[in-house]
Homo-oligomer: A and B are copies of this chain.
């Protein structure tokens, strides 16, 4: 990676984890037409998935942390698929699914945990389109799940 992106990761105190292996019959990332499609990532912290539901047993701060953890796992998957985060031309789109009690409506603030990370790491190239919605439940009881589309630098 360039000094710049590695510096930013270091400054943010981020060490990329071993990317999570899919527990099922799919792959973490597929490249097509200059774009990398990354499978929905769950928030892992020290090998444990961060579970819970916003507005019920998780507060906003915990939700933002979960979203950031999903973002870090996205970075790990991108890094593995492309060989380096330097090959990222642009973070194009994040799809953010947030386990939510029926009256929890701060999905955008939760999703910022991942969005802020992308801008922190990639600068202008990290600014992306996004959808953020509430869902009743996620795989393994996770608090947040995020998938992504990334544009790849063409050599």
Interface residues of A (CB under 8 A from B): 22-30, 32-35, 37-40, 53, 89-90, 92-95, 97, 100-109, 111-112, 115-116, 119, 127-141, 145, 147, 149, 151
Tell me whether A92 and B32 are in contact in the complex, defined as CB-CB below 8 angstroms, given that A26-B129, A119-B25, A147-B129 are known contacts. Answer: yes
Known: A101-B137, A135-B136, A136-B136. 11 other contacts (CB 8 A): A25-B119, A29-B129, A39-B131, A40-B132, A40-B133, A103-B137, A104-B137, A108-B139, A131-B145, A133-B138, A134-B136
The smallest beta-carbon distance between A22 and chain B, in angstroms, is: 8
CB distance from A138 to the nearest CB of B (A): 6
- Select which of B33, B38, B132, B149 is within 8 A of A37 by beta carbon: B149
Q: In angstroms, how far is the closest chain B Cβ from the Cβ of A67? A: 11
Tell me which of B24, B37, B136 contacts A92 (CB under 8 A): B37
**Contact call B100/A130, Cβ cutoff below 8 A:** no
Which of B109, B112, B136 touches A102 (beta carbons < 8 Å)?
A: B136
Residues on B with C-beta less than 8 A from A97 are 131, 133
How far in angstroms is the closest Cβ of chain B from A98? 9
